[in-house]
Chains A and B, each alone.
Chain A
Amino acid sequence: MLESLPLVLKDLLQRAVMTFLPGWAESWVSALISAGAIVAIFGLLFGIVTVLERKGLARMQNRYGPNRVGIPLTSIRMAGFGQFLADGIKALTKEDLVPSRADRVVHFLAPVVMVIPAVLALAVIPFGRSHVAVELEAGLLFFFAVGSATELAVFMAGWSSRNKYSLLGAMRAIAQMLSYEVPLVLAVVPVVMAAGSLSLVRMVEAQAAAGSGWMGWYVATPWGLVGFILFLAAALAEANRSPFDLPEGESEIVAGYFIEYSGFKFALFFLGEYLGLFAALSLAVTLFLGGWLPPAAALAWLPSWFWFFLKLLLLIGLAIWIRGSWPRLRVDQLMGLAWKFMLPLTLTNLVGFVLWWHVPSGWLRWIVCGGLVWITYFGLAHSLLASRGWAPRHYRLVE
């Protein structure tokens, strides 16, 4: 019952609408309802996550965080979870400022172009057993193709604002996103090879077939684990999340590429960034964490979409935790991490993946494949560290 609830709701809505529309409109109505559901669910998730993030970060700094806004005109506070609605109303009623010398058309289009690719990318993610808006044979390819359009929006915003900080932020963003696209894609290549398909639906099925419960998930293999961590790091960089939030860099370039945006356009950028994060983490869940599969067969009585969103929320929590813990990288460190560290590791991971199929199964496989990545990791880290000439500091007066 719960499992097919979204499908039943969609069917009811579609039938209700089709009573007063001609027959040829049915496919359009169906597509629009699916798109509307994705926008509504992820829009709501965006609102809740902004509150969760603010509360979580506050708790990591020993503060309360937002805990006031609840139902208006009553004393019900809902622990502050009405905050995102208040923020939305505030953003809608704020003055929409456009710099007098800005390129008005591009300035207007940039926030829209920011949101659309994120929503398109979410369309190919399977949220449940048969809950996928568009089942593409090359879903993964579509995801990456659409996802890289975000860079265009960022540069449109930075260029059209005619502001030096905007442009600096946009150029940082372009350099960062192009660099991290490489390890991002290379990190998922083993998964594509293992599943033998580019279809995201097929990848989840392959993980269901690979073993019982969580044992079958690709994260439970050495190449999957390494790929997952590398993918997560690259995804945070792609979504401009801390510790890779240089394009915003509050302390250096004020707010980066959306410095000249106010009111609801700013809110759209905010939404676009979070939807991009959700899309990237959804892909991580689908590729490495078994998508909508329950961790054990005994837990299969819970609906598949519940497991998907639980995993997604856990990854979002991890992203918030990382944001609250780690400082921002410098530009050269950012580039060095992508090209000197993550790229060789992803390539080694590919070799490790090949070895995984040629070494007989058992603990030896883990030692060979894991050891390969382990050695590369320490070799790279130490040679990079040594090339900087750093050594532990000795403080004469402290000892």
Chain B
Amino acid sequence: MDGRTGFAAAIWYGWLMLGEGLAKGLWVTARNFIGSYLSEERLVTVQYPEERRSLPEATRSFPFLVYDGDDPVTGLRCVACKICEAECPPQCIYIVKDKVKKPDATGKLQNQPLIFDIDISVCMSCQICVEVCPFDAIKMDVAYEWSTLDRFEGLLLHKEQLSKPNSYYHKIHPAEAAEVDARLAAARARAAAKSSGSSARPVGVGAATPGSAAARPGAATE
């Protein structure tokens, strides 16, 4: 830059650039205005109901319950331990234990929930229930179109609505689900080794691709 300062600089640059900022502003908006009609790439918005942006891997909305196999009752991983109910900050989970027990993935008899309700109008999507669950039974869903005419019953999800298969979990969070499956398979293998000779068999059907899971441990960032 040359050595003009103070008043001289104000005169010199002012003389050349007076009102230039205004013209620049008009030029930018004019270019956007014309350009947005000429090229679709400029438009940053998505025409929502017709087209949707693909969700990132880490998307989460509300929790759901995972079940293995085809039967949402016998395959449900939840053992009604009520840890999530106790930890839930807004207290949106309500669990009642069933008196009848059912065998879990390793064949051991476990409790099961008779009632498992989540009020998603209260839920704040904090994912703490997922963090504290020792059985990998509760995971975060990605569904977000929950608008309903009945804000009480329509947003109170029961066990039947919450139970979703492991294949669904694989679909929405592939890397995370593979990692969970590997961990569960390892647990089953340990249980089987402990009771070696006995006929312990894995129940999990949508399970165990340990090779791929080991190749990318904790690959949730993909």
Q: Which residues of A contact B (CB under 8 A)?
A: 56, 59-64, 321-322, 324-326, 378, 381-382, 385-386, 389-392, 394, 399
B1 closest partner in A (C-beta): A394
A-B pairs, 3 with minimum CB distance: A60-B29, A325-B25, A325-B29
Instruction: Take A326-B25, A386-B10 as given contacts and tell me if A60 and B15 are in contact as well, using a CB distance cutoff of 8 Å.
Output: no
CA distance A321 to B30 in the complex (A): 8
Separation of A56 and B6 alpha carbons in the complex (Å): 41
B7, closest chain A residue (CB): A386
- Please list 19 pairs of residues, one from A and one from B, whose beta carbons are closer than 8 Å in the complex, sorted by A's number: A56-B33, A59-B32, A59-B33, A60-B33, A62-B32, A62-B42, A63-B43, A63-B44, A321-B26, A324-B29, A325-B28, A326-B26, A378-B15, A382-B14, A385-B14, A386-B7, A386-B10, A391-B5, A391-B13
Interface size range of chain B in the complex: 20 to 34
Question: When the two chains form their complex, are residues B36 and A399 in contact, meaning their CB atoms are under 8 A apart?
Answer: no
**Any chain A CB within 8 A of the CB of B146?**
no
Interface residue? B205 (CB, 8 A): no
Whether A382 contacts B32 in the complex (CB less than 8 A), given A59-B37, A64-B47, A326-B25, comes out as no
Interfacial chain B residues near A321, Cβ < 8 Å: 26, 29-30, 33
Mask, B35-48, CB within 8 Å of A = 1, is: 11100001111010
Q: Give complex CA distance A60, B26 in Å.
A: 10
Tally A-B pairs: CB < 8 A: 65
Given contacts A63-B44, A386-B11, A392-B13, contact A378 B33 (CB under 8 A): no
Q: Given known contacts A62-B42, A63-B43, is B33 in contact with A391 (CB within 8 Å)? A: no
Q: Does B18 contact A (CB under 8 A)?
A: yes
Q: How far is the CB of A380 from chain B (nearest CB, A)?
A: 10
Nearest Cβ distance between residue B214 and chain A, in whole angstroms?
45
Chain A residues with Cβ under 8 A from B29's Cβ? 60, 321, 324-325
In the assembled complex, B124 has its CB within 8 A of some CB on chain A: no
Complex alpha-carbon distance, A392 and B11, angstroms: 11
Binding site for A on B (CB under 8 A): 1, 5-7, 9-11, 13-15, 18, 22, 25-26, 28-30, 32-33, 35-37, 42-45, 47
A392 to B30 alpha-carbon distance, docked (Å): 26
Bound CA–CA A134/B45 (angstroms): 48
Q: What residues on A are CB-neighbors of B28 within 8 Å?
A: 325
- Please, how many angstroms separate the alpha-carbon atoms of A60 and B35 in the complex? 9
Q: Are A378 and B18 in contact (CB under 8 A)?
A: yes
Q: A62-B42, A378-B18 are in contact. Are A390 and B10 (CB under 8 A)?
A: yes
Contact A63 B45 (CB under 8 A): yes
Looking at the assembled complex, report how far the CB atom of A120 sits from the nearest CB atom of chain B, in whole angstroms. Answer: 33
Question: How far does the alpha carbon of A325 sit from the alpha carbon of B26 in the complex, in Å?
Answer: 5
Specify which chain B residues have a CB less than 8 angstroms from the CB of A62 in the assembled complex.
Answer: 32, 35-36, 42-44
Given known A-B contacts A381-B14, A382-B15, A385-B14, A392 and B33 have beta carbons under 8 A apart: no
Q: Which residue of B lies closest to A60 (CB)?
A: B29
Q: Whole-angstrom distance between the alpha carbons of A389 and B37 in the complex?
A: 43
Please report the C-alpha to C-alpha distance between residue A390 and residue B44 in the assembled complex, in whole angstroms.
Answer: 37
- Closest Cβ of chain B to A302, distance in Å, is 26
Q: Give A394 to B5 CA distance when docked, in angstroms.
A: 11
User: Residues of B contacting A382 with CB < 8 Å?
Assistant: 10-11, 14-15, 18
Cβ distance A393 to chain B, nearest Cβ, rounded Å? 10
